[in-house]
């Protein structure tokens, strides 16, 4: 490793800024900081989902179906005091929503509610960040067709999107990067075959490849992950091949070879580390794409199955009663857009920061 740094310093590579300073510069860009903040927020939501969500994502209540956001919630208490106060609300089959304004219960922080388990039973508690102190349920973002709390479902669905995106990106990197690196480094027949194969795969534009794979593998969350992952392999392979091609004839590579390193050693110790910057950028953008694809498959009914609180699936269910309860479809879409925007912002910022021409 020391050798490669010396070799590259001798040739043409400008000294890189120290990582910490580089990160600080990155975070000073408002858009980049926004992106990191959004991703951080969603990671926090994933980690603390049952604590943050006021209710269980699957608990149904047929007496409170299709409640609009914030129904029964008011700013003033029974004696005019300020705060969030909740009155019992029920939906009657014929009379619509009835509100019992005479009873009001306060919303408090750190309330004991339904008990929950998390991380495969490792964590167990009934403490929630906020909830009503009283025998009533409140729904800040309304309820869906089975009376489930939309906010709780959104919070519990966050991990699905991020997990699918993460696994898909990992599949793409683990397969795509070595294939692209070998293809670019060795060239010749292997390269030709790989490139033709990639041409074929890329002939299925956008989400179509994932749809074809799901049609073959069958529907369900696991297959969606695999499908979206496979769909991102050619993108990584192309990208890394390009970088490796431009690097493999540089002097520090020659130096490594001249010093007797074997081919694969040169490739993985000297060439590939220098080709990874675009991979990092692509991974952020690819995360965005993967989340969109997964949500799309969920929306089409090819992904997660009910009662899974997957955002695309929630949107699809909400579509059926768009005119009467638009909030059921609106909020999951907003969540998808926000998290995708976060990854796009970070990806763009990383690209600009790593591209020396964009100074």
Partner 1 sequence: MFTYFFRRLLAALPAIFGVIVIVFLIVRLAPGDPALMLAGELATPEILQLTRERLGLDKPWFINTEAFLEQGNPLALFDTQFTAFIVNLAQGDLGASTRTRSPVLTELGNFYPATLELALGAMIVALLIGIPAGLIAAVKPNTIVDYFVTLGALIGVSMPVFWFGLLAILFFSVQLGWFPVAGRGTLAHLVLPAISLGAGSAAIIARMTRSAMLEVLSQDYVRTARAKGLAQRLVINKHAFRNALIPVVTITGLQFGTLMAGAVLTETVFTWPGIGSLLVTSILARDYPVVQGAVLLIAISFIVINLLVDMIYGAIDPRIRYD
**What's the Cα-to-Cα distance from 109 to each of 80, 127, 132, 215, 294, rounded to whole Å?**
20, 10, 9, 46, 34
Instruction: Give whichever of 252 and 311 is closer to partner 1, judged by the CB atom.
Output: 311
Pick the binder of partner 1 from 302, 313, 350, 353 (CB under 8 A): 302
3-state secondary structure of 69: coil
Give all strands of the β-sheet with 82-86 in edge-to-edge order: 73-76, 82-86, 105-118, 123-132
154 binds partner 1 (CB under 8 A): no
What does DSSP assign to residue 305? -
217 binds partner 1 (CB under 8 A): yes
218 binds partner 1 (CB under 8 A): yes
Instruction: Give whichever of 36 and 118 is closer to partner 1, judged by the CB atom.
Output: 36
Residue 167 structure tokens: 């696994």
Which of the ranges 53-61, 106-114, 130-138, 291-299 carries the binding residues for partner 1, by CB under 8 A? 291-299
Pick the binder of partner 1 from 205, 249, 262, 356 (CB under 8 A): 205
162 binds partner 1 (CB under 8 A): no
**What's the Cα-to-Cα distance from 280 to each of 18, 89, 224, 275, 313, rounded to whole Å?**
17, 49, 23, 10, 30
Q: Which residues pair with 108 in a beta bridge?
A: 131
Instruction: Give whichever of 10 and 215 is closer to partner 1, judged by the CB atom.
Output: 215
Token pair 């909020």: residue: 331
66 binds partner 1 (CB under 8 A): no
63 binds partner 1 (CB under 8 A): no
Instruction: Give whichever of 198 and 244 is closer to partner 1, judged by the CB atom.
Output: 198
**What's the Cα-to-Cα distance from 325 to each of 59, 245, 335, rounded to whole Å?**
19, 54, 17
Pick the binder of partner 1 from 326, 351, 352, 354 (CB under 8 A): 326
Provide the CB-side half-sphere exposure for 100 (13 A, CA): 13
How many residues interact with partner 1 (rule CB under 8 A)? 45
> How far is Cα of residue 149 from the mean position of the Cα atoms in its chain?
22
Pick the binder of partner 1 from 215, 258, 259, 264 (CB under 8 A): 215
Which of the ranges 66-74, 81-89, 243-251, 288-296 carries the binding residues for partner 1, by CB under 8 A? 288-296
Q: How many whole angstroms separate alpha carbon 250 and alpha carbon 127?
A: 59
220 binds partner 1 (CB under 8 A): no
356 binds partner 1 (CB under 8 A): no
Inter-residue contact 7 to 252 (CB < 8 Å): yes
Instruction: Give whichever of 80 and 188 is closer to partner 1, judged by the CB atom.
Output: 188
Pick the binder of partner 1 from 196, 264, 273, 355 (CB under 8 A): 196
E-state strands within 189-314? none
End-to-end CA distance of the chain: 29
Residue 194 structure tokens: 């790989």
Question: Residue 279 Cβ, how far from partner 1 at the closest point, in Å?
Answer: 20
Q: Residue 25 CB: number of other CB atoms within 10 A? A: 12
Question: Residue 219 Cβ, how far from partner 1 at the closest point, in Å?
Answer: 8
Instruction: Give whichever of 124 and 319 is closer to partner 1, judged by the CB atom.
Output: 319
Which residues in this chain contact partner 1 in the complex, by CB under 8 A? Answer: 31, 196-197, 199-200, 203-208, 211-212, 214-218, 288, 292, 295-296, 299-302, 312, 315, 318-319, 322-323, 326, 329-330, 332-334, 336-337, 340-341, 344-345, 348
């Amino acid at each position: 490793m020391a050798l490669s740094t010396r070799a590259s310093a001798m040739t043409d590579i400008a000294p890189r800024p120290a990582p910490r300073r580089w990160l600080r510069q990155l975070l000073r860009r408002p858009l980049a900081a926004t992106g990191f903040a959004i991703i951080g927020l969603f990671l926090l939501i994933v980690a603390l989902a049952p604590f943050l969500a006021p209710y269980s994502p699957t608990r149904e209540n047929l007496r409170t179906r299709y409640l609009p956001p914030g129904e029964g919630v008011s700013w003033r208490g029974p004696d005019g005091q300020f705060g969030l106060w909740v009155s019992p609300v029920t939906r009657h089959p014929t009379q619509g929503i009835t509100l019992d304004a005479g009873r009001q219960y306060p919303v408090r922080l750190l309330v004991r509610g339904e008990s929950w388990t998390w991380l495969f039973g490792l964590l167990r508690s009934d403490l929630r960040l906020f909830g009503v102190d009283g025998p009533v349920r409140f729904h800040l973002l309304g309820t869906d067709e089975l009376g489930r709390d939309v906010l709780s479902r959104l919070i519990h669905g966050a991990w699905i999107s991020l997990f699918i995106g993460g696994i898909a990106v990992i599949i793409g990197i683990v397969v795509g990067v070595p294939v692209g690196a070998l293809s670019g480094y060795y060239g010749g027949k292997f390269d030709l075959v790989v490139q033709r194969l990639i041409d074929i795969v890329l002939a299925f534009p956008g989400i179509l490849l994932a749809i074809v794979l799901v049609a073959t593998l069958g529907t369900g969350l696991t297959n969606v992950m695999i499908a979206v992952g496979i769909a991102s392999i050619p993108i990584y392979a192309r990208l890394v091949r390009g970088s490796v091609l431009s690097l493999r004839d540089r002097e520090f590579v020659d130096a490594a070879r001249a010093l007797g390193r074997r081919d694969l050693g040169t490739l993985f110790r000297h060439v590939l580390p220098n080709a990874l910057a675009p991979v990092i950028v692509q991974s952020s953008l690819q995360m965005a794409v993967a989340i969109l694809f997964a949500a799309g498959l969920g929306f089409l009914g090819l992904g997660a199955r009910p009662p899974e609180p997957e955002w695309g699936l929630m949107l699809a269910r909400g579509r059926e009663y768009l005119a009467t309860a638009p909030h059921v479809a609106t909020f999951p879409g907003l969540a998808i857009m926000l998290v995708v925007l976060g990854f796009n912002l970070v990806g763009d910022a990383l690209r600009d920061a790593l591209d020396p021409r964009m100074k």
